[in-house]
């Protein structure tokens, strides 16, 4: 998590010179934009990996089984 915050801080800090000197250094702005896109894509990939829903589905299956065992006389 700290690496994402550090990358965000670096992009924000580099955005200041980019705004000041963008007309003199288009290459700098392009590189900053590409770096920001890379960090965003990396963060999205990590979030997708961390959001693996197998654990949630397994837990819901266990809860459902427990409810079925507990409520044999359930009218539903």
pLDDT in tens, 56-66: 778 888 999 99
Q: Is residue 55 part of a domain?
A: yes
Tally of domains within the chain:
1
* Domain assignment present for 49: yes
Residue 44, domain member (yes or no): yes
What pTM was computed for the model? 0.40
Digit-coded pLDDT (tens) for 18-71: 777 777 777 877 777 887 787 777 777 777 766 666 777 788 889 999 999 887
Cβ(47)–Cβ(4) below 8 Å: no
Question: Residue 41 belongs to what domain range?
Answer: 2-70
Q: Which two tokens stand for residue 49?
A: 């990996």
In a domain, 75, yes or no: no
Q: Is residue 66 part of a domain?
A: yes
Distance CA 76, CA 60 (A): 18
Residue 64 within a domain = yes
Is the residue at 76 inside a domain? Answer: no
> Is 45 within a domain?
yes
């Amino acid at each position: 998590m700290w690496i994402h915050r550090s990358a965000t801080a670096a992009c924000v800090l580099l955005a200041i010179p980019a705004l000041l000197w963008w007309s003199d250094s288009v290459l700098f702005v392009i590189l900053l934009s590409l770096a920001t896109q890379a960090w965003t894509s990396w963060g999205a990939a990590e979030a997708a990996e961390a959001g693996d829903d197998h654990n949630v589905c397994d837990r819901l299956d266990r809860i459902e089984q427990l409810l079925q065992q507990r409520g044999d006389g359930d009218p539903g």
